[in-house]
Amino acid sequence: QAQLVESGGGLVQPGGSLRLSCTASDEFTLDYWAIGWFRQAPGKEREAVSCISPRAGSSTVYSESVKGRFTISRDNAEKTVYLQMNNLEPEDTAVYYCAAGRVHTDYVCYQGSASYGVWGQGTQVTVSS
């Protein structure tokens, strides 16, 4: 069964950095899938953070709250998508999920969670002094 596993979460001080990884299981050909990162803070709805288009990842999208601080990238050979998070703020505290979805072209990804059918189990990110 195709699976995604997130890692790299933890506790970091404000202004610090973390790199999250989303790794696909062996039976999952990650190349053909758009990948999205989402997060959910306690008491809040899940929100989109970023996404990257399939194959070369030529298209990326960021939410306004993370633009300029977070960078999404993919290494298909390693079956992994990364989310580099810099200048973290307490408001970034949440469980972060990655998800995979099929799109009709290699040049788009979508922020809507309905576009994604395979989800990881999540990794906790806590930003606190």
Establish how many alpha carbons lie within 13 A of residue 50's alpha carbon, considering only the half-sphere containing its beta carbon: 23
Distance CA 90, CA 80 (A): 26
Radius of gyration of the chain (CA): 14
What is the C-alpha to C-alpha distance for residues 123 and 12, in angstroms, rounded to an integer? 14
| 26-30, 90-94, 112-116: least confidently modelled range | 26-30
The SS3 assignment for 32 reads: helix
Q: Which two tokens stand for residue 117?
A: 């059918």
Name the band, by pLDDT with cuts 50, 70 and 90, for residue 38: very high
Closest CA to 13 of 87, 122, 68: 87
Q: Give me the sign of the Cα torsion angle 25, 30, 33, 34.
A: positive
pLDDT at 28 over 90: no
**Single-letter amino acid, residue 31:** D
80 closest CA partner among 12, 31, 15: 31
Instruction: Convert the pLDDT of each residue in 41-76 to its tens digit.
Output: 999 999 999 999 999 988 999 999 999 999 999 999
Look at 46-50, 82-86, 108-112, 122-126 and tell me which has the smallest mean pLDDT. 108-112
